[in-house]
């Protein structure tokens, strides 16, 4: 729509006068109450009234959500009223056909009219799909437009550097240049190093925002019958896993998703792991591995792979009674060593309700000094003591609430960024992939430019091409233009 045209000549004006004949239109951006009639059938009897108290607003472009003129009708009533108004709108006199908007058409028009860039549109999609509080916050930060402006700024800088190099290539015989090719490449190299550093930060933001979007993956590991399924059911709040005293009940991976303190999480209850190093303090079960069947072996293999793919690992040990009437802590050493290499690892000791607090403290101290102290990454960790059997109500008798709070803290450490970098949580996987490609081309430029430090002569034509390809990747992120086309490059050259 053209904003300078009289209101009655634009599409929205024709629709308004069709629904509200003989009634002055509302002032732009001011709400007015109007009676909506069937187009061409208005009378005083009210038989042809569609809505007697509709709220009407007119927004002239280009300062609208789509950049075009917008007429909003806020009607009263149920689906029948809405259907009647939409039917009346389509019968209004118009120079073109009035139709329903296609899926995403308003957003597409916003992009084509320069109101939104592709980065903002991706964040808008994330906002609509957000299920947790932290997903919503990340999407809002990405919708601010800061990311698009940053990428456009990088692209302009690369265009400037490329323009200077192209000028040297094309006009060196006709013009006098104060800088040699080596000096010029050195100046552009400094600019490129700054952009490469910023790209690294943006990729870090993408990694953390992906955890918020896709969910933080948590694996429950431990020997058979340690209580992994019971713990998962306690945290999830439903019977996601089958609980049985029989060892090896869980043969495959059972997964469940939930919201913990605003973080989307995906819990995986894995098969109990038994190996030749499955031990108990004061007792070694040397026959454990010999009784493992083929199905259980496959379950253990999948459990280990799930652990490697997880962001957080909870390793379960358990207090068990011995034949002599004493108690020990049952654990699997290889599982502890595997978990120690995870981004975040928690060690929990289950079934603490079967011993006295004094005995439990001695067992835990012995476990820390005899086992955890010898494993890199776990030597300073304090095991959490829980009891899935005792967990009930709000008293947290089993320590499950404390475990959940510590999990939430670990989620925060995995996804947090400094205050001045919060907008980087809006970086999507698509943007990160394009940034990686841009980074690769800038790295190629750096390699070519640094030949001036050696006996090799840098190829400035090839260097300029690397900058062009890097700029193209940045333009693909925002959808604004094609980086380094001839007109822009010449504009930079002649401006200088």
Domain boundaries, the chain: 7-100
pLDDT for residue 83: 93
DSSP letter, residue 288: T
Is a pLDDT exceeding 80 seen at residue 59? yes
Is a pLDDT exceeding 90 seen at residue 46? no
Q: Does domain 7-100 have CATH number 3.20.20.70?
A: no
Residues above pLDDT 70, as percent of the chain:
77
* Residue 209, CA distances (Å) to 251, 414, 424 in order: 33, 10, 8
- 195-239 per-position pLDDT tens digit: 999 999 999 999 999 899 888 988 888 888 888 888 888 887 654
DSSP letter, residue 150: H
Give dist(CA 270, CA 255) in Å, integer: 9
pLDDT bracket for residue 248 (50, 70, 90):
very low
Give dist(CA 61, CA 445) in Å, integer: 43
pLDDT bracket for residue 435 (50, 70, 90):
very high
Give dist(CA 213, CA 129) in Å, integer: 9
Average pLDDT score over the chain: 80
CB neighbourhood size of 54 (10 A) = 21
Give dist(CA 336, CA 378) in Å, integer: 8
Give dist(CA 456, CA 449) in Å, integer: 10
Give dist(CA 427, CA 203) in Å, integer: 8
Is pLDDT larger for residue 281 or for residue 75? 75
Q: Are strands 278-280 and 216-221 parallel, antiparallel or unpaired?
A: unpaired
Q: Are strands 344-350 and 384-385 parallel, antiparallel or unpaired?
A: parallel
Give dist(CA 484, CA 476) in Å, integer: 12
pLDDT bracket for residue 287 (50, 70, 90):
very low
Give the residue-averaged pLDDT of 245-260.
Answer: 61
Q: What pairs with residue 51 in β-bridges?
A: 36
- 449-466 per-position pLDDT tens digit: 887 666 677 788 898 899
- 297-338 per-position pLDDT tens digit: 666 666 677 777 788 989 899 999 888 888 999 988 888 888
- 125-181 per-position pLDDT tens digit: 888 888 889 888 888 887 788 899 999 999 999 988 888 887 777 665 555 555 566
Could you tell me which of 105, 101, 94 has the C-alpha nearest to residue 12? 94
Q: Helix or strand or coil: residue 211?
A: helix
pLDDT for residue 10: 67
Is a pLDDT exceeding 50 seen at residue 283? no
Give the residue-averaged pLDDT of 17-25.
Answer: 87
Is a pLDDT exceeding 90 seen at residue 477? no
Is a pLDDT exceeding 50 seen at residue 352? yes
Is a pLDDT exceeding 50 seen at residue 426? yes
pLDDT for residue 250: 44
Give dist(CA 184, CA 161) in Å, integer: 9
CB neighbourhood size of 97 (10 A) = 6
**Cβ atoms of residues 428 and 117 within 8 Å:** no
- 337-349 per-position pLDDT tens digit: 888 888 889 999 9
Is a pLDDT exceeding 90 seen at residue 441? yes
Is pLDDT larger for residue 123 or for residue 304? 123
Q: Are strands 312-321 and 283-284 parallel, antiparallel or unpaired?
A: unpaired
**Cβ atoms of residues 295 and 251 within 8 Å:** yes
First to last CA, the chain: 38
Give dist(CA 346, CA 283) in Å, integer: 24
């Amino acid at each position: 729509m053209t904003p300078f045209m009289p209101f009655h000549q634009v599409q929205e004006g024709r629709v308004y006068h069709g629904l509200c004949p003989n009634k002055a239109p509302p002032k732009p951006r001011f709400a007015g109450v109007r009676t909506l009639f069937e187009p061409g059938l208005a009378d005083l009897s009210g038989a042809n009234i569609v809505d007697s108290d509709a709220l009407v607003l007119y927004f002239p472009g280009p300062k609208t959500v789509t950049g075009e003129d917008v007429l909003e009708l806020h009607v009263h009533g149920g689906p029948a009223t809405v259907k009647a108004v939409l039917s009346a709108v389509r019968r209004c006199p118009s120079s073109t056909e009035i139709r329903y908007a296609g899926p995403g058409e308003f957003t597409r028009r916003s992009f084509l009219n320069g109101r939104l860039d592709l980065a903002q549109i991706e964040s808008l999609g994330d906002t609509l799909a957000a299920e947790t509080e932290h997903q919503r916050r990340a999407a809002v930060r990405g919708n601010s437009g800061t990311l698009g402006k940053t990428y456009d700024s990088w692209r302009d800088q690369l265009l400037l550097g490329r323009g200077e190099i192209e000028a040297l290539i094309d006009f060196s015989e006709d013009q006098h240049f104060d800088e040699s090719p080596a000096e010029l490449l050195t100046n552009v190299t400094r600019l490129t190093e700054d952009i490469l550093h910023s790209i690294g930060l943006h990729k870090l933001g993408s990694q953390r925002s992906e955890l918020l979007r896709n969910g933080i993956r948590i694996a429950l590991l431990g020997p058979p019958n340690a209580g992994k399924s019971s713990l998962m059911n306690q945290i999830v709040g439903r019977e996601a896993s089958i609980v049985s005293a029989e060892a090896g009940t869980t043969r495959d991976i059972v997964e469940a998703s939930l919201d913990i303190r605003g973080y989307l999480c995906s819990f995986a209850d894995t098969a109990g792991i038994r190996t030749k190093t499955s031990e108990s303090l004061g007792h070694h079960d040397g026959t454990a591995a010999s009784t493992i069947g083929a199905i259980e072996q496959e379950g253990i293999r999948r459990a280990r792979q799930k652990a490697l793919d997880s962001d957080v690992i909870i390793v379960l040990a358990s207090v068990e009674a011995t034949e002599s009437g004493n108690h020990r802590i049952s654990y699997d050493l290889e599982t502890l060593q595997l978990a120690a290499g995870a981004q975040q690892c928690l060690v929990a000791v289950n079934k603490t309700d079967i011993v006295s607090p004094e005995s439990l403290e001695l067992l835990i101290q012995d476990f820390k000094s005899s086992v955890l102290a010898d494993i890199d990454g776990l030597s300073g960790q304090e095991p959490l003591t829980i009891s899935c059997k005792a967990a009930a109500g709000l008293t947290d008798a089993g320590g499950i609430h404390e475990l959940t709070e510590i999990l939430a803290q670990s989620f925060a450490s995995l996804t947090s960024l400094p205050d001045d970098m919060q907008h980087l949580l809006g970086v999507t996987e698509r943007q990160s992939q394009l940034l990686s490609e841009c980074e690769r081309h800038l790295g190629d430029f750096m390699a070519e430019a640094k030949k001036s430090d050696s006996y090799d002569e840098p190829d400035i034509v090839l260097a300029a091409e690397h900058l062009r390809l890097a700029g193209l990747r940045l333009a693909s992120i925002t959808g604004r233009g094609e980086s380094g086309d001839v007109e822009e490059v010449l504009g930079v050259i002649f401006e200088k």
